[in-house]
Structure 1
């Protein structure tokens, strides 16, 4: 496999996190008839075929809603629908994009191991396995809530990590995140670029992800592959990722290039990931192989990419057990992100956990979730009008816009930098003698 140019950045987790912006699992028979797909045999990515009409009957949509929704979406075919369409709460999961950014931290111990490791090539084995580990969680087809401008998400009590993310721009929607423990710092700026194709949507991760390993000051840069959400209109909605993931050690020039195989007929090749860790001279040193929904393994190789004699394939990461038949296909870690188990003392009022629409959806009150979502969006518009009338431009609290413009394979990106103020804020709170316990029933969500 020939490695690509690594000198471009990618906002891995947030782009993928926002990218699962599917517009519903399926439509009903009337829509299939409208499109000429009645009775069509469709591919099931898990293997086998199913009748499209029967598959459609298991969708989230009521028949009387499906025609009007499809007619509304037809005009957007070929367009970037990242932020120009208001979507119903019925297709949402009770989590925001900022929380999905934090979901990448589930297997953060792999970055700890990369920092402890002296072998420069094994560092890339651990760090790329960490980057791959989140794809199992991101195959969910529910859409996360779009964050309100100024909304935040905090996380502690996991691997010694302090995590903060913030919605730093509304148009275009952009998020920034920072995570840190004794072994690494993690910084990301990301925005989403999409192309709606009718029955599918292509997602392009426009962003920059940087990991710094503290022991030696090694800086890693990640470029993720694009993602496609398939069967938006008919059939079972599912997510596929194909293309190259590139993790580059900017300090030494070493890099890992891994190929995500596309899903073929009857599911052939789905989930498979293969590639190599290369030195700065682009010579293969370690081969990597596995499936992003199961595990990743590695083995030293020769200059031709063949396994070295006397070595064996060793597992470096395996996906953790997940709840059975979970309504939103959540992992145990995803449930923790919604709970206060990972919340710090005296949670910011702008935190995603406190959103009334998110919480209403979590407890199954669809009607209240829809009402609260509309109310928050209207308050956001009103706040913008007032701010513009007073001549006060929006400024994020925890991240600063830099003058840097970084190129990505899908467009240039403005870079936001963590300003360190959250670290000071959290230290002051944690040292305080009077700590109030956050109560979701009494704390009003307020990102303004």
Structure 2
């Protein structure tokens, strides 16, 4: 765990850095300290291990060279949805499921809602936002959702979670989660920049959390992420920069600086920052490592720890399974299982994707062919939609027409329309007194499609020729 800096140290420098913090904007610490050009040598192990990784990587030598020839023409481009990637680099999970991983430590939002101290509320809430980062260390790529694909989760801390792929070009997802203490809403649109052997990922999104007891609304702006050694060497992930959480109700805010990883892994994982009141005065310092734990301590106006107080641990990452093939946490396995699936699971659910399931079962060949078939079906449906002059309309979220500014561009906002809550109540009423038949759920055919039955057109899918038409 990082220790708080003494007077004139790093945390004190942060105080002066943020002294001119303006409403609606913030100063980027990394623009002052700089992280560009820092070479990272072996952030994970010994030099021999690095050399072995550089030789082996994820691909065989010929595969790497072939992949590099294909990819080098995209340098400087956004490759979010323009490149078909080999299934060998995927994990058996979609980005909709990864969105749900933020619910692993949702008890921190419960604590934020119940806490009477307004500044500790912010400590718990921002710690919740940081708690997902250990899961982001996984270097496998999740599957891009099919347009109309969903993921739903129940039976976790009383939470009902729903995510839907609301746009394909550009790829956009929306999610809503709720329990008795909070509601969570996000519209997410990733933007990437391919740099050869690395890729920068910019989280163009808007996150809103409502704490129900105090009726406070929180807004989150996470830092960007960099995936290093994408093709050659050991793949690893860093998120240098600022995370800003603003209380839109009171004007309080948290600014956490994610230290960039330097030479020989120096500074990796370290997070430091403050809770500020509406007058931009530091009230509580926060320090730790995003991969293990965060602690807090009351501070004075100079950002120094108050005498007679001690660091208090707020969150500690649970121990992760050893030797897991995809570096999954226990919660990631829960998300992928049908144990958190409700009765009457939507046929558009990510768990039901044949390519995802084949990869989970270790059948790379079938995973690759099923992935190709799904992508072909999606393209065929797009052509049919265009021929009918039809627009895709998400089922569970509505496009508002509003645009939200982000540090990386404007974002179109989708909002939860409440229809899923009605659907879930009806399904629960129908299933009253029944237990969820997991084996039966697994047999549901994956169906995110807007168009279904035959109108004289068909498309190859999973080795079968399936008819295509507009659904009722």
Q: Does 1:7 align with 2:8?
A: no
The Cα offsets for residues 263-301 of structure 1, whole Å up to 9 and x where unpaired, read as: 011111000000000000000000000000110000000
In angstroms, what is the RMSD of aligned CA positions? 1.6
The answer (yes or no) to whether the contact 1:247–1:256 under 8 Å persists in 2 is: yes
In 1, Cα distance between equivalents of 2:233 and 2:404: 38
From 214, 217, 222, the counterpart of 2:215: 217
Match of 2:191?
A: 193
From 220, 227, 245, the counterpart of 1:229: 227
Q: Secondary structure at the match of 1:164?
A: strand
- Structure 1 residue 5 displacement after superposition: 4.8
Higher relative contact order (CA 8 A, sep 6+): 1
The answer (yes or no) to whether the contact 1:76–1:196 under 8 Å persists in 2 is: yes
In 1, Cα distance between equivalents of 2:343 and 2:222: 34
Change (3 A) 1:120 1:442: same
- Structure 1 residue 43 displacement after superposition: 1.2
In 2, Cα distance between equivalents of 1:155 and 1:380: 25
Q: Secondary structure at the match of 1:85?
A: coil
The Cα offsets for residues 16-45 of structure 1, whole Å up to 9 and x where unpaired, read as: xxxxxxxxxxxxxxxxxxxxxxxxx97101
Match of 1:60?
A: 58
From 94, 106, 109, the counterpart of 1:108: 106
In the comparison of the two structures, how many residue pairs are matched?
Answer: 417
In 2, Cα distance between equivalents of 1:337 and 1:112: 20
- Structure 1 residue 6 displacement after superposition: 6.2
- Structure 1 residue 52 displacement after superposition: 5.7
In 1, Cα distance between equivalents of 2:115 and 2:403: 32
Q: Secondary structure at the match of 2:402?
A: strand
The Cα offsets for residues 229-253 of structure 1, whole Å up to 9 and x where unpaired, read as: 1112322110001111001000000
In 1, Cα distance between equivalents of 2:365 and 2:441: 19
In 2, Cα distance between equivalents of 1:443 and 1:377: 20
The answer (yes or no) to whether the contact 2:100–2:161 under 8 Å persists in 1 is: yes
Q: Secondary structure at the match of 2:53?
A: helix
Match of 1:29?
A: none
Match of 1:271?
A: 269
In 2, Cα distance between equivalents of 1:366 and 1:424: 39
Match of 2:3?
A: none
The Cα offsets for residues 124-157 of structure 1, whole Å up to 9 and x where unpaired, read as: 0000100000000011100000000000000001
Match of 1:37?
A: none
Q: Does 1:442 align with 2:443?
A: yes
From 160, 172, 175, the counterpart of 1:174: 172
In 1, Cα distance between equivalents of 2:197 and 2:116: 47
From 390, 393, 405, the counterpart of 2:391: 393
Spell out the pairing of 1:90-105 with structure 2 (5 A cutoff).
Answer: 90-105=88-103
The Cα offsets for residues 400-431 of structure 1, whole Å up to 9 and x where unpaired, read as: 00011000000000000000000000001001
- Structure 1 residue 441 displacement after superposition: 4.6
Q: Secondary structure at the match of 2:250?
A: coil
- Structure 1 residue 123 displacement after superposition: 0.5
The answer (yes or no) to whether the contact 1:56–1:235 under 8 Å persists in 2 is: yes
Change (3 A) 1:425 1:198: same
The Cα offsets for residues 324-379 of structure 1, whole Å up to 9 and x where unpaired, read as: 01000000000000101111111000000000000000010000000100011111
Q: Secondary structure at the match of 2:207?
A: strand
TM-score, normalised relative to structure 2: 0.86
The answer (yes or no) to whether the contact 1:114–1:124 under 8 Å persists in 2 is: yes
Match of 1:31?
A: none
The Cα offsets for residues 28-80 of structure 1, whole Å up to 9 and x where unpaired, read as: xxxxxxxxxxxxx9710135434765223432212332222110101000111
TM-score, normalised relative to structure 1: 0.90
From 62, 69, 72, the counterpart of 1:71: 69
In 1, Cα distance between equivalents of 2:268 and 2:66: 33
Match of 2:462?
A: none
- Structure 1 residue 7 displacement after superposition: 3.0
The answer (yes or no) to whether the contact 2:64–2:232 under 8 Å persists in 1 is: no
In 2, Cα distance between equivalents of 1:224 and 1:8: 14
Spell out the pairing of 1:421-440 with structure 2 (5 A cutoff).
Answer: 421-433=419-431, 437=437, 439-440=440-441
Q: Please, which runs of 5 or more residues in structure 1 have no aligned partner?
A: 10-40
In 1, Cα distance between equivalents of 2:331 and 2:431: 30
Spell out the pairing of 1:228-267 with structure 2 (5 A cutoff).
Answer: 228-267=226-265
Change (3 A) 1:5 1:368: farther
